[in-house]
Amino acid sequence: MTIGQNKLYLLSALPLALFALTACSSSQTMQEGKVEPQRPRRIIFGDDITGSYMRDNVVDLQVKFFLMNARRGDTWIFRWIGRYSYSDRAARQILPGRTYVTIPELPSKPSNPFDTQANRDYQTRLRRVQEIKLQVARSLKSQKSSPEKGTDIWGFLKKAEELKPTHVVMFSDMSDTMGNKVALNLRNVHVYVLCFQSGRNPREAQKRKTFWTSVLEQAGARVTFHDISEPLPLLD
């Protein structure tokens, strides 16, 4: 199979993946056709495009992570992590003209199977939710960005703070080279550093994890570091 054929195969497989992951997610939030109330989540999704991070190795995992975690009522805001992480140019257009997506709310599944109109309306809204998730997944899979020299982790985190998140998700090796240190307030935010690429030097990897864990905890955040070898986590 050629590289082009492989990419087409992966994109064509997204609807099936979406169906499976949606079914898995639904089993956690629905019982007897009733949706459990959940607080709205606001997730900042950061994608490292600097030369030190092997982004091509994790794109499929980014797609999988979004599909398995995006739930109704969420707002996901997408940004690049690079030399200009704080600036407007780091805002990532994930859908035409939009750098964010809000997953529509969905009412409880109609309890009366013979209420044709209510069931039709429910299925229409459910398909809309699935279509939005699939559009974002395809965008994550297909988007390209020119690698940047320099990484501003501080700038990304400061912008994330200003966007008032409940969760911050970073696909990054956390190698800051710009040194734009700034005070952070991420109280009650859960920061996930996913597919952390530790490189060849265990001392350097541990140093980065220890440093950023300390910075983020002092800012009031909870921190989860995830190794690329591990199963992807579910957002709380």
Q: What are the DSSP calls for the chain, one per residue? A: --HHHHHHHHHHTHHHHHHHHHHHHHHHHEETTEEPP----EEEEEEE-BTTS-GGGTHHHHHHHHHHH--TT-EEEEEEESTTTTSGGGB---BTTBSEEEPPP-PPPPS-TT-HHHHHHHHHHHHHHHHHHHHHHHHHHH-----BSS--HHHHHHHHHHT--SEEEEES-----S--------TTPEEEEEEE---S-HHHHHHHHHHHHHHHHHTT-EEEEEETTSPPPPP-
Split at pLDDT 50, 70, 90, the class of 118 is confident
The average confidence (pLDDT) of the chain is 86
pLDDT for 28-50, tens place per residue? 444 434 444 567 999 999 999 98
pLDDT for 174-231, tens place per residue? 999 999 999 999 999 999 999 997 678 889 899 999 999 999 999 999 999 999 889 9
Split at pLDDT 50, 70, 90, the class of 1 is low
pLDDT of residue 26: 46
pLDDT of residue 35: 47
Domains recognised in the chain with CATH numbers: 3-227 (3.40.50)
45 vs 146, residue with greater confidence = 45
